């Protein structure tokens, strides 16, 4: 069955290996004990959608009440009326970085370096900053979501890739605070995945494709979190959909996805997580659309009568992107040509 073969390909070639997941979990367990208080994993690793290699992990650290009370007063803390713009946390993060250095040394774990940034603390474990790292991101409770879980004020870097954060820190760009609902996004992903774990296979497949495209066309923007939210939409519309049909729908609808912002932020309905599409050039959009149509063609031509190894070889061609001149997308293209059922 083609669906099973695609899922197998994702597990063998795109998903993090068992040793990677175990290593990240162990590193999180270590730092969670050091931080004490409320802290949790955030990002794709926490949502089961990370791909190999895992390069980083965000840990959300809820600033302890005693620290906030000292800065603002207990009345503001209790009423959750803190304005984070009034909070200078550089001394807090400097103190945390020093404490983490002592703690890692005490338990005998070597780390390359621990750096206090303006709005986070970065822990680097490998010989270079490109190796695995953990960012401890401070957070201030700002109310509850519909699941009765805390939403937070967090530095805006929490919504950015680690590469973008690095550039912001290097260029000393001003960093503000935004409301965020990381627990809500984890809850949504968990619920969908518990019902249909093809969800995580589809997300990983599409994120790997996006990564392959960016290796050839680095100017293209198609954010991983945006991709994840689009696929969440597909599964919310049909929780029984399988990997193959989800991929066919996703890649055939890229033109619609890039036409205008459409996905509201969980913590702020006045913002869109995909607002960047408004600034994407038409040339870049056309490249993504055309590359997406290529994927649809490959998937449509997979034959269930072929050997599994042959099918996986054909699937691997999806991630071999060749640079070509971009051209407008033809309106007559019919992306889904096979009436696949949900049982494929």
Q: Could you tell me which residues are beta bridge partners of residue 59?
A: 41, 136
pLDDT of residue 331: 42
- Residues with Cβ within 8 Å of 112's Cβ and at least 6 positions away in sequence, in order, are 124, 125, 126, 127, 128, 129, 131
Rg (CA), the chain: 22
pLDDT for the residue numbered 69: 75
What pLDDT does residue 98 have?
A: 96
Provide the pLDDT for residue 334: 40
Q: Which two tokens stand for residue 110?
A: 């070597």
Which pLDDT does position 62 carry in this prediction? Answer: 94
CATH homologous superfamily of domain 16-181? Beta Polymerase, domain 2 (3.30.460.10)
84-92 long-range Cβ contacts below 8 angstroms, 24+ apart: 84/140, 84/153, 84/177, 85/176, 85/177, 87/140, 89/63, 89/119, 89/138, 90/116, 90/118, 92/63, 92/67, 92/138
User: What does pTM read for this prediction?
Assistant: 0.90
Tokens of 127: 């010989």
Q: CA of 319: how far to CAs of 14, 66, 216, 220, 292, in Å?
A: 11, 50, 11, 16, 11
Where in the chain do CATH 3.30.460.10 domains reside? 16-181
Alpha-carbon span 274 to 315, nearest angstrom = 28
Q: Which residue has the tokens 């020093």?
A: 98
CA distance 132 to 122: 11
pLDDT value for 77: 54
pLDDT at position 326:
52
Residue 4: Cβ within 10 Å count: 13
Burial 14-27 (b: 16+ CB within 10 A, else e): bbbeeebbeebeeb
Nearest to 155 by CA among 80, 223, 87: 87
What are the 10-residue block averages of pLDDT along the chain, 344 residues in total?
96 97 97 94 96 96 83 58 72 93 95 92 91 94 94 88 80 84 97 97 98 95 96 97 98 97 94 95 95 97 92 96 64 39 34
* Tokens encoding 5: 């073969």
Neighbour tally for 82: CB within 10 Å: 19
pLDDT for position 325: 60
């Amino acid at each position: 069955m083609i669906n099973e073969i695609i899922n197998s390909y994702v597990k063998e070639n795109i998903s993090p290996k068992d040793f990677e997941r175990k290593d990240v979990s162990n590193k999180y367990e270590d730092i969670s004990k050091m931080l004490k208080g409320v802290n949790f994993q955030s990002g794709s690793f926490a949502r089961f959608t990370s791909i190999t290699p895992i390069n980083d992990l965000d840990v959300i650290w809820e600033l302890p009440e005693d620290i906030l009370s000292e800065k603002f007063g207990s009345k503001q803390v209790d009423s959750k009326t803190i304005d984070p713009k009034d909070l200078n946390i550089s001394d807090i993060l400097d103190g945390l970085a020093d404490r983490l250095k002592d703690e890692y040394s005490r338990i005998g774990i070597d780390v390359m370096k621990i750096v206090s940034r303006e709005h986070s603390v970065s822990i680097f474990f490998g010989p270079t900053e490109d190796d695995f790292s953990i960012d401890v991101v401070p957070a201030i409770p700002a109310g509850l979501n519909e699941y009765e879980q805390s939403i937070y004020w967090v530095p805006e870097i929490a919504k950015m890739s680690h590469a973008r954060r690095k550039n912001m820190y290097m260029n000393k760009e001003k960093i503000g605070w935004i409301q965020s609902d990381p627990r809500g996004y984890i809850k949504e992903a968990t619920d969908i995945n518990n019902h249909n774990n093809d969800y995580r296979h589809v997300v990983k497949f599409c994120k790997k494709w996006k990564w392959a495209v960016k290796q050839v066309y680095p100017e293209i923007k198609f954010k991983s979190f945006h991709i994840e939210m689009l696929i969440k939409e597909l599964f919310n519309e049909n929780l029984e959909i399988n990997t193959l049909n989800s991929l066919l729908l996703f890649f055939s609808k890229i033109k619609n996805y890039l036409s205008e912002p459409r996905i509201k932020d969980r913590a702020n309905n006045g913002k869109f997580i995909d607002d960047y599409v408004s600034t994407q050039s038409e040339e870049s959009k056309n490249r993504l659309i055309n590359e997406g149509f290529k994927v649809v063609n490959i998937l449509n031509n997979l034959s269930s009568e072929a050997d599994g190894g042959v099918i996986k070889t054909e699937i691997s061609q999806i991630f071999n992107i060749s640079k070509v001149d971009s051209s407008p997308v033809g309106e007559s293209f019919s992306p889904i040509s096979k009436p696949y059922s949900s049982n494929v």
